[in-house]
Structure 1
Amino acid sequence: MAAAITIETERVETGIDYTSKIEPLVCSSKRGEGNDELSRPLYVAVDKMTGNIYIVDYSNNCVKVFDSTAKYIFKFGDSNGEGKMSDPISLVICRSRILITHDYSILNYNLDGKYISRIGEYGSGELEFNFPWGIAINESNDDIYICDYHNHRIQILSQDFQFKTQFGSFTFPLDVKLSKECIYVLDGSNPCIHLFNHNHILQKSVVSLGQGYQVIDPFSFFIDNFNNILIADYSSNSISIFNSEFQSIHNIPVSKQPTAVTVDNHDRVIVVCYHTVNWLQIF
């Protein structure tokens, strides 16, 4: 990518001691098609109730579920029929269901991996998608926010999958997250993080702030309970962490090409990497 997000470098400690995250506590390095193996994982999320880790296994066209120690439990989505995945990208866990972006639609499963329904089809209209990517849920009303990558927008659906609205005119929206105050959208071409209020009015775009640390190639990001922002910096092989004002807190070197990061209930940082020996790392 041609540009970089430049962030102020003042170090601020906020909520979680990320500076202690230096060496991984757990590494999983099995590559392949087996149950406990991964091939090009693209996204990771944690079920806050059980601590189970859900990983989008892109090349194996499924989601694999591991416990908090990275022990394999089960997988779903690789069978035939309506629930079969094709190039899954991202997922979100909310209450009793899992929503997964893939192909030109959204797949709806329960937490045990049982297929429930498919939402959307190819196109540019309401409930139509052209390469859906990141996905998030507004926990206050269960609205679903979807990065509609090649349609350059965020589509918002109700909890029963009815179209509500859309906003933005992005270049390539990769990821979306919500806090109580803001909607954050990662636009991958600049790269840039846009902050909107909940009326979908742009508040600011974080592209260049001073001469500080640069995020070169952000792939996705996560917002913790303290509004710290963790960015998977694909080309820099690191997780860059900032407070809510985008001041640098810490930078965690990880295995090659991280694609996603999350934080569990025990303040552990969980990372998946696309091309590497250590596909899953826990700090």
Structure 2
Amino acid sequence: MATSNPIGLEPVEDSLKRVRTGIDYKSKIQPLVRICKGGNRIDDLEWPRCVTVDNKTGDIYIADCFNNCVKVFDSTAKYMFKFGDSTGEGKMSYPISLAICRSRILITHNHSILKYTLDGEYISRFGKQGQGELEFKYPLGIEINESNDDIYICDSNNNRVQILSQDFKYKSQFGSFEYPSDVKHSKEYIYVLDESNPCIHLFNHNHILQKSVISLGQGNQVINPYSFYIDNSNNILIADYSANSISIFNPEFQSIHHIPFSEHPTAVTVDNHDRVIVVCNHNVNCLQIF
């Protein structure tokens, strides 16, 4: 897949070799790139719901919810291609969340999970509507445990997180949530966002609850979180839809910074250049890079 690097940034392969240090989030004030194009044309976004980055190439993958597809941009935010079959087994219906595992991308949508190659070729579908094992009611956030490639899925309307093996076999489940919408891993914890509270629950890797953080920092309460991201220093970046901001906290959940928006952010990630990448929706559908 052909890619290009942003002007003034080192090559992706060089950034992977250098030692990562803490990100200066307070310098993230104005976007380097801001693309706002709502609609159903080929490079438009219509209610973008999730964003993730292929760390090998720098390519940006966006779940374009109302266009029923995934759209791919290079590291300069130039549109490349889209995928999501309109019919058949690979058909997408309101894709919500994305997770990249090796050369594959997993997409939650409707009541099942789709698997595609990173080049947009359909591979398989798994899951169906229900309450049993490998059954879902509106799955939202999806995450890959890099240590063993286990797949964690927020089974939102079943109020749980399901765990599947890398070959998509049911392993276990945990939690009794109100509305789990996103899940992330660090070396120490599994973080689950319970959107209805709002609250972030921290579990150890035996899936035993360690603590729950509701206020997310005194005086810095999050109003309506849609999703979040854990960086390499275990800082937490939260896309706060109703507060029109990305709220950033250190590992102790003390406030570091807020990036304000005129739009409603739905998802955030960080690439290997320490750039914060955000998608927003509502009246304006945007991809922004800080």
- Which TM-score band (shorter chain)? over 0.9
Shift of 1:195: 0.1
TM-score by length of 1: 0.93
Alignment partner, residue 173 of structure 1? 180
Tell me the alpha carbon deviations over residues 78-106 of structure 1, each in whole angstroms, 9 at most, x when there is no partner: 43221110111101011110000001100
Contact 2:131 2:137 in 1 (8 A): yes
The residue aligned with 2:4 is none
Match of 1:38 among 24, 45, 66: 45
Following superposition, the deviation at residue 254 of structure 1 comes to 2.0
- 2:208 alignment partner, one of 193, 198, 201: 201
Corresponding residue for 2:16? Answer: none
- Amino acid in structure 2 at the alignment position of 1:179: S
Alignment partner of 1:113 out of 117, 120, 128 = 120
- The two structures, once aligned, show a CA RMSD in angstroms of 1.1
> 1:265–1:210: structure 2 CA closer, same or farther, 3 Å change rule?
closer
1:213: how far off? 1.1
Q: Distance in 1 between matches of 2:141 and 2:216?
A: 25
Change (3 A) 1:210 1:105: closer
TM-score with structure 2 setting the length:
0.91
Identity percentage of aligned residues: 76
Shift of the 232–80 alpha-carbon distance from structure 1 to 2, 3 Å rule, reads same
C-alpha distance in 2 between matches for 1:278 and 1:136 = 24
Tell whether 2:250 aligns with 1:250: no
1:35 Cα shift? 1.4
- Residues 132-164 of structure 1 show CA distances to partners (whole Å, capped at 9, x for unaligned) of 000000000000000000100000000000000
In the alignment, which of 145, 163, 172 is matched to residue 156 of structure 1? Answer: 163
How many residue pairs get matched?
270
Which consecutive residues of structure 1, in runs of 5 or more, have no partner in the other structure? 1-13
Correspondence for 2:140: 133
One-letter code of the match for 2:136? F
Q: Which runs of 4+ in 1 moved over 4 A?
A: none
* C-alpha spacing 1:143/1:23, structure 2 compared with 1 (3 Å): same
Question: Does structure 2 conserve the Cα–Cα contact (< 8 Å) formed by 1:101 and 1:132?
Answer: yes
Note the 1:1-283 alignment, pairs <5 A: 15-208=22-215, 211-277=218-284, 279-283=286-290
Flag the 1:52–1:176 CA change in 2: closer, same or farther, 3 A.
same
Task: Report deviation, 1:112.
Answer: 0.5
- Please tell me whether the aligned partners of residues 126 and 168 of structure 2 are also in contact (alpha carbons under 8 angstroms): yes
2: CA distance between counterparts of 1:153 and 1:209?
A: 22
Question: In structure 2, the residue corresponding to 1:91 is in which secondary structure?
Answer: strand
Shift of 1:220: 0.2
Aligned-pair CA distance for 1:199: 0.2
